[in-house]
Structure formats: C-alpha cells, structure tokens
Amino acid sequence: MAKRKIVLSKSFVKAYKKFIGRNSLLKKQIDSSIEEMESDLYAVKLRTHKLSGVLEGSFACSCGFDCRIIFVLNKNVKPEEIILIDLGTHEEVY
C-alpha cells in the first residue's frame, strides 16, 4: 500500500498545542499514532472509523484512552493526503 502524506491544518496545530499543554505525557503517544496513520491508516490500534452527522465525510482514530484525531482523506492527489483537522477528548471533538 502506498504511503500517505500527513497534512496538518491550522485548526489541528492549535488543538495539538492546547492538548499537549494540558496532557504533556500523551505527546509521544499522539505523535506515534500520527506516524502509524501515515503507514497503516487502518491499523487495529488506531480504531479508525467513519463519522456521521455534522462530521460526515470525516474520519476519527484513537490516539490514547480518551484522545481522538479527526481527519479527512484527499484521494485526488498522489500520495493520498490525510488532512488532520482536530484533536481532543471524545467530548471535545464530537
């Protein structure tokens, strides 16, 4: 499978900095999950799934016990882009 390219949106960068500020111990786990997304987006540990409702067309994956990454896929470019949109607890991102 072709490797995908991670793209960080401004909203994701802001959420990442805020989240890491509150939960610095999760930084390594989040960074590891992002690396895993690039090589195997559907790895079991990520629990990647489609979203519905307001976030329909987006996906989410797990990067810790109560930590989610919201993203969209851009399949119109090669390599395919994973555009990271938001990061936070389950309650914050949904």
Radius of gyration of the chain (CA): 12
Share the mean pLDDT of the chain.
90
d(CA 88, CA 14): 11
Asked if pLDDT for residue 78 goes beyond 90, the answer is no
Is the Cα torsion angle 7, 11, 17, 20 positive or negative in sign?
A: negative
What's the full length of the chain, in residues? 94
Element (H, E) at 18: helix 10-22
Average pLDDT over residues 72-79: 91
Q: pTM of the predicted model, to two decimals?
A: 0.90
Q: What is the pLDDT of residues 56-70, one digit of tens each?
A: 999 999 998 789 999
Going from N- to C-terminal start, the domains of the chain cover 5-47+62-86
Report pLDDT for 64: 81
